[in-house]
């Protein structure tokens, strides 16, 4: 059981948001720069921060948590929040909203025809999950994944969010940059471009290369494999360069990250958050803190619709502190807040390195989504993007999982009935046996189907798969949308 001092916890959260605001403000004017920079500090007027979607999108997630609670907060509900409360329509933000408006559920909405799914929009908004789950990387990652996959699907943008969320959550009790990076790496697939890029940065650093040469090495490596500007692997790599070569100095770290160029507000804001969580407000330079103040200025939140969002970093900190016990309790976290000293058993720190749970998240197939109907969940995955022409075939797979808790995990006979547009056909089984969860059985069942379009295909084609189980009253209705 980790014990975390309450005042220390609050101080670290406040420093996180101050660091986020400082980085977004300092890096904002240089966003999109392709060249190495040579900035030395702020180029904005003193007294206010710049508005930044990196921070203010997280205000929406906090309100969602306050209204919905942690038990049912998943990608579908966060997707509804996107449609209701998030105003930007650029890049992956706009594509996921357009896909959801057409009827595609997340994370499929983040995959479908989305050339931006490897971009930066998700790893830049992970701090809220880390602050709600201090010293609990797997819990932070769980929610960061649900958040990221809405607009990045199974792309590298989602993998990057897992990496950063794990680092930030662990930073509440781990004060070694290198160990935090290793914890993040342990949570993502070794063959991901994210992991390869971070390992490349570590190698360059260990080989004694300058930060500029390391930056150029990362840029060339990723450009050669098609990872262009504004993509997550390179930009997270630049943030890691800042953290390593900054050597714990707040100003040096942030300026180094910004001077790498590209998505400079994102890299700077993230390193500011990480150092803030690690060290608390003592690391925030007084002159830089005075330059931006405590205010939060939003750019991405439809405040006329979503009211009562935090106006300052201090208010945001206090609102998170109120919700954290509920988040931790709902996820059975082995953490206790205390008025005494922070205590972190060695075995708990070692447990941060476990990656089985989070790598399983990363292995979820592209072009898929999951539906829960109490006693079971079903993941539907298409063999490719769900497009179809008249008379064309489209294959899909269903993977059912028996929800053993709290419903017992007993075996079920599942009856499957498709409701189709006129003239369409589905070839595949009409029933399945969902096995009992035992020591040797995982409670799974799978089925493959071939969908055949009729002569009439609309722009948006809605199908329904009805799943019923003998002895259970709940009918699982799986909405299947295929684009014409």
Regarding whether 52 and 10 lie in a shared domain, the answer is yes
Number of other residues whose CB lies within 10 A of the CB of residue 115: 11
Instruction: List residues bridging with 214 in a β-sheet.
Output: none
Spatial distance between the Cα atoms of 43 and 156, rounded to a whole number of angstroms: 32
Instruction: List residues bridging with 445 in a β-sheet.
Output: 400
Regarding whether 463 and 316 lie in a shared domain, the answer is no
Say if residues 482 and 387 touch (Cβ distance below 8 Å).
yes
Regarding whether 257 and 148 lie in a shared domain, the answer is yes
Q: The CATH number of the domain where 474 resides is what?
A: 2.60.40.10
Regarding whether 112 and 219 lie in a shared domain, the answer is yes
Final residue of a structural domain among 344, 360, 376: 360
- Nearby residues of 226 by Cβ (< 8 Å), 6 or more positions away: none
Using CB atoms within 10 A of its CB, is residue 244 exposed (0-12), middle (13-18) or buried (19+)?
buried
Final residue of a structural domain among 360, 382, 404: 360
Place of tokens 């595609």: 104
Regarding whether 281 and 420 lie in a shared domain, the answer is no
The pLDDT profile of the chain, 484 residues, written as one tens digit per residue, is 999 999 999 999 999 999 999 999 999 999 999 999 999 999 999 999 999 999 999 999 999 999 999 998 999 999 999 999 999 999 999 999 999 999 999 999 999 999 999 999 999 999 999 999 999 999 999 999 999 999 999 999 999 999 999 999 999 999 999 999 999 999 999 999 999 999 999 999 999 999 999 999 999 999 988 778 999 999 999 999 999 999 999 999 999 999 999 999 999 999 999 999 999 999 999 999 999 999 999 999 987 788 889 999 999 999 999 999 999 999 999 999 999 999 999 999 999 998 888 877 877 899 999 999 988 999 999 999 999 999 999 999 999 999 877 776 788 999 999 999 999 999 999 999 998 766 555 788 999 999 999 999 999 999 999 999 988 999 999 999 999 9
Place of tokens 């070692």: 350
User: Minimal CA–CA distance to 441: which of 414, 398, 399, 411?
Assistant: 411
* Six-digit token string for 148: 């990221």
Q: How much is the pLDDT for 322? A: 98
Task: Please tell me the total count of domains within the chain.
Answer: 2
Final residue of a structural domain among 331, 360, 389: 360
Q: How much is the pLDDT for 409? A: 74
Regarding whether 395 and 312 lie in a shared domain, the answer is no
Query: What is the C-alpha radius of gyration for the chain, rounded to an integer number of angstroms?
Result: 23
Regarding whether 326 and 417 lie in a shared domain, the answer is no
Say if residues 169 and 129 touch (Cβ distance below 8 Å).
yes
User: Minimal CA–CA distance to 41: which of 289, 407, 389?
Assistant: 289
Q: How much is the pLDDT for 435? A: 84
**DSSP secondary-structure letter at 119?**
B
Q: The CATH number of the domain where 241 resides is what?
A: 1.10.4080.10
How is 333-392 classified by DSSP, letter by letter?
A: -SEEEESS--B--HHHHHHTT--HHHHHHHTSPSSEEEEE-SSEEEEEEESS-SB--TT-
Regarding whether 268 and 415 lie in a shared domain, the answer is no
Place of tokens 């921070």: 55
Regarding whether 58 and 166 lie in a shared domain, the answer is yes
Peptide bond just before 330 cis, omega within 30 deg: no
**Which residue range is the domain that position 50 belongs to?**
2-360
Regarding whether 416 and 327 lie in a shared domain, the answer is no
Say if residues 133 and 333 touch (Cβ distance below 8 Å).
yes
Regarding whether 106 and 211 lie in a shared domain, the answer is yes
Place of tokens 């769900």: 386
Q: How much is the pLDDT for 90? A: 92
Regarding whether 303 and 379 lie in a shared domain, the answer is no
């Amino acid at each position: 059981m980790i014990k975390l001092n309450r005042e220390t916890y609050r101080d670290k959260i406040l420093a996180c948001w101050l660091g986020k605001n400082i980085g977004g403000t300092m890096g904002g004017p240089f966003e999109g720069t392709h060249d190495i920079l040579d900035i030395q500090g702020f180029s904005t007027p003193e007294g206010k921060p710049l508005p930044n979607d990196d921070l203010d999108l997280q205000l929406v997630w906090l309100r969602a948590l306050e209204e919905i609670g942690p038990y049912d907060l998943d990608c579908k509900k966060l997707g509804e929040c996107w449609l209701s409360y998030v105003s930007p329509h650029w890049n992956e933000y706009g594509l996921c909203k357009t896909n959801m408006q057409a009827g595609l559920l997340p994370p499929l909405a983040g995959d479908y025809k989305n050339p931006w799914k490897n971009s930066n929009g998700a790893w830049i908004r992970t701090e809220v999950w880390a602050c709600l789950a201090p010293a609990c990387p797997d819990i932070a990652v769980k929610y960061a994944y649900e958040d990221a996959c809405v607009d990045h699907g199974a792309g590298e943008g989602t993998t990057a969010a897992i990496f950063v969320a794990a680092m930030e959550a662990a930073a509440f009790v781990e004060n070694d940059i290198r160990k935090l990076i290793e914890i993040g790496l342990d949570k993502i697939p070794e063959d991901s471009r994210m992991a390869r890029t971070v390992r490349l940065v570590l190698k360059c650093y260990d080989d004694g290369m300058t930060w500029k040469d390391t930056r150029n090495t990362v840029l060339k490596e990723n450009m050669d494999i098609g990872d262009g500007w504004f993509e997550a692997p390179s930009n997270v790599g630049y943030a890691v360069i800042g953290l390593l070569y900054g050597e714990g100095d707040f100003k040096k770290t942030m300026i180094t990250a910004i001077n790498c160029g590209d998505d400079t507000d994102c890299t700077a804001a993230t390193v500011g958050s990480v150092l803030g969580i690690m060290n608390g407000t003592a690391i925030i330079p007084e002159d830089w803190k005075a330059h931006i103040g405590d205010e939060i200025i939003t750019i991405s939140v439809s405040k006329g619709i979503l009211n009562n969002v935090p106006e300052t970093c201090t208010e945001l900190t206090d609102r998170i502190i109120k919700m954290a016990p509920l988040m931790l309790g709902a996820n059975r976290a082995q953490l206790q807040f205390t008025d005494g000293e922070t205590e972190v058993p060695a075995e708990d720190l070692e447990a941060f390195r476990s990656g089985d749970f989070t790598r399983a998240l990363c292995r979820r197939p592209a072009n898929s989504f999951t539906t829960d109907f109490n006693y079971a969940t079903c993941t539907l995955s298409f063999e490719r993007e769900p497009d179809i022409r008249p008379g064309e075939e489209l294959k899909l797979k269903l993977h059912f999982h028996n929800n053993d808790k709290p419903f017992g995990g007993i075996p079920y006979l599942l009856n499957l009935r498709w409701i189709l547009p006129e003239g369409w056909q589905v070839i595949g089984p009409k029933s399945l046996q969902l096995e009992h969860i035992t020591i040797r059985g995982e409670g799974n069942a799978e089925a493959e189907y071939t969908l055949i379009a009729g002569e009439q295909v609309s722009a948006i084609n809605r199908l329904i798969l009805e799943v019923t189980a003998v002895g259970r009253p709940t009918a699982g209705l799986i909405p299947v949308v295929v684009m014409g």
